[in-house]
A and B are shown apart, each in its own frame.
Chain A
Amino acid sequence: MTTPIVEAELPQWPPVHAARDPFAPLDEAERPHYDGPVRQVRLPNGTTAWLVSRHADVRQLLRHPAFSADFTRAGFPLLRPLPPAETRDTRGNFIQMDGAEHSRLRRMLTAEFMIKNVRRIEPLIQRTVDEALDDLAAAGPPADLVSTFALPLPSMVICHLLGVPYADHDFFQARSRTLLDRKTPTERLIREVAELRDYLRALIDTKRAHPDGADDLLGRLIRERIEPGELDVEELVGMALLLLVAGHETTANMIGLSVLLLTRDGRFTTLRDEPDQAPGVVEELLRYLSIVRTGLFRAATEDVEVGGQLIRAGEGAIVLISLANRDAAVFDDPERFDPYRQAHQQVAFGFGVHQCIGQPLARAELRIALVALARRFPQLRVTASPQELSTRQHSVVFGLDTLPVTW
């Protein structure tokens, strides 16, 4: 145990001062408090947790089976109060499950999102991008790139894949933001999760009552898993909720920040002139922007030494993939955005068994969207300075609220 005096001096997590530069993972003055070896931090509720930020430590911890993703466990680091047990419905939400419980549900989905199946839907992504670009052309110049392109594109794609009507996007986009915002009051969080679950349950019930043989993910899971009794409806509701939220918020924020970065550095036309470089550029964007900035959260279930520090069973750990992606031991000159860098080792999608299941889809969406945007609007420029833009400081997924552009 550390003494109370030492604990009083622990740095706070999340940091008190937000970074003003949207490309900086942390405020430059505060960064030394968090960078480097495993250290303790204090959370808003007064508890402590271990902060892990070196690339090797991050990968070791996330690969280790003795770190649980179950937020109801003792010692799990919480940034907002845990809703009362009777109000929590986490069935199907496998991002917070461990072991066999987790792999049972994840394995029902892995084939859906694997590279070869995403390749098959690339024409759909391309078509959706082209339509969204028509809308952007009709809306401006000037226009807000976030609301006219960055957000609609991944929302339309995930709706199409799941079999959720895109017409309801205002409903689920607003609630997704609430879910990801760590300042959301508990009552509101409980209410909006319930509303999303009710909405998805009604959709699944309708699909079951009127099987139309539709070739979408919910239809397939109903036919192949629900009807044979392998999967419970409430589990499917939770899985659909997770995919719907994770499937559009993340990619949308990546597109907005990527455009801000690429147009600023005059690299936008590289994508147009050298589309073969696009996969490498996307990898470097993922590394450099690392939008999941508040970290990945785990609780130790056994004593484990990470980076020379003993983390005891029942203690919490916060894994900073944003700093791991700027680790000079792995990436040369890590603070520099280098589109020709081979950033294979970036960990923006996490590591370990929870590593993003949607990564082939996210990569394809980013590549197709950015290349098409650069081809169609080579003169695109942002009309505000990066420091003027309002950002999502309190969201688990960092991003821009708006991105005013002209062309």
Chain B
Amino acid sequence: MTAVDRPGRAETTVQVAVDRDACCGSGNCVRVAPEVFAQDDADGLVLLRATTLAPQSGARARRAADLCPSGAIRVASAEALPR
């Protein structure tokens, strides 16, 4: 668990990123956070609906990252990411 993944910190917004090359199209992220993730009609791979998330969606995106079977989702506090 990296520092940015540690729960219990008051967060404002979070940033989410996906790696389509790693994605295996399991759809877990879409099931957990449909407002953040979608699957491409052409190949079933992940697409992002948003990259900067309010806390509630941020929490769901973190759960999606945990449940992603191929480790294709990265979530970090907005301020923790390099700009």
Cα(A352)–Cα(B23), bound, Å: 10
In whole Å, how far is B10's beta carbon from the nearest beta carbon of chain A?
A: 24
B70 touches A111 (CB 8 A): no
Partner of B39, one of A62, A116, A351: A116
Chain B hits for A63, CB < 8 A: 69-71
**Max count, chain A CB within 10 A of own CB: residue among B26, B30, B71:** B26
Chain A hits for B27, CB < 8 A: 114-115, 359-360
Known: A110-B43, A110-B45, A111-B42. A355 touches B24 (CB 8 A): yes
B67 touches A107 (CB 8 A): no
Partner of B69, one of A103, A112, A352: A352
1/0 per residue, CB under 8 A from A, across B1-30: the answer is 000000000000000000000001111101
Interface size for B (C-beta < 8 A) is 21
Of chain A, the residue at the smallest CB distance from B25 is A110
Cα(A355)–Cα(B25), bound, Å: 9
Contacting residues of chain B (34-65) with chain A, CB-CB under 8 angstroms: 39-45, 63
Known: A344-B63, A357-B25. A107 touches B43 (CB 8 A): yes
Cα(A371)–Cα(B24), bound, Å: 30
Cα(A103)–Cα(B24), bound, Å: 7
Cα(A312)–Cα(B55), bound, Å: 42
Does A106 count as interface, using CB distance less than 8 angstroms? yes
Interface of A is mostly: loop
A111 touches B67 (CB 8 A): no
B39 touches A111 (CB 8 A): yes
Chain B hits for A360, CB < 8 A: 27
Contacting residues of chain A (32-79) with chain B, CB-CB under 8 angstroms: 62-63
Cα(A110)–Cα(B20), bound, Å: 13
Does A350 count as interface, using CB distance less than 8 angstroms? yes
Of chain B, the residue at the smallest CB distance from A352 is B69
Chain A hits for B39, CB < 8 A: 110-111, 114-116
Contacting residues of chain A (112-128) with chain B, CB-CB under 8 angstroms: 112-116
Chain A hits for B42, CB < 8 A: 111
Interface of B is mostly: loop
A115 touches B45 (CB 8 A): no
Does B78 count as interface, using CB distance less than 8 angstroms? no
Which range contains the number of A residues in contact with the other chain? 20 to 34
Cα(A113)–Cα(B25), bound, Å: 9
In whole Å, how far is B77's beta carbon from the nearest beta carbon of chain A?
A: 23
Chain B hits for A359, CB < 8 A: 26-27
A355 touches B26 (CB 8 A): yes
Does A345 count as interface, using CB distance less than 8 angstroms? yes
Cα(A114)–Cα(B42), bound, Å: 11
B44 touches A107 (CB 8 A): yes
Cα(A66)–Cα(B19), bound, Å: 19
1/0 per residue, CB under 8 A from B, across A336-378: the answer is 0000000011000011111111011000000000000000000
Chain B hits for A357, CB < 8 A: 25-26
1/0 per residue, CB under 8 A from B, across A10-24: the answer is 000000000000000
In whole Å, how far is A120's beta carbon from the nearest beta carbon of chain B?
A: 12
Of chain A, the residue at the smallest CB distance from B70 is A353
Chain A hits for B70, CB < 8 A: 63, 352-353, 355
In whole Å, how far is B14's beta carbon from the nearest beta carbon of chain A?
A: 19
A111 touches B25 (CB 8 A): yes
Partner of B41, one of A111, A353, A354, A356: A111
Cα(A225)–Cα(B26), bound, Å: 22
Q: B: which residues have CB within 8 A of A?
A: 24-28, 30-32, 39-45, 63, 66-67, 69-71
Q: Can you identify 19 A-B contacts, CB atoms within 8 angstroms?
A: A63-B70, A63-B71, A106-B25, A107-B45, A110-B39, A111-B25, A114-B27, A114-B39, A114-B44, A344-B32, A344-B63, A345-B66, A345-B67, A351-B69, A352-B69, A355-B26, A356-B26, A357-B25, A360-B27
Q: A: which residues have CB within 8 A of B?
A: 62-63, 103, 106-107, 109-116, 344-345, 350-357, 359-360
Can you name 14 extra interface pairs (CB under 8 A) apart from A111-B43, A355-B70, A359-B26?
A: A103-B24, A106-B25, A107-B25, A110-B44, A111-B39, A113-B44, A114-B30, A115-B27, A344-B32, A345-B66, A352-B24, A352-B70, A353-B70, A356-B26
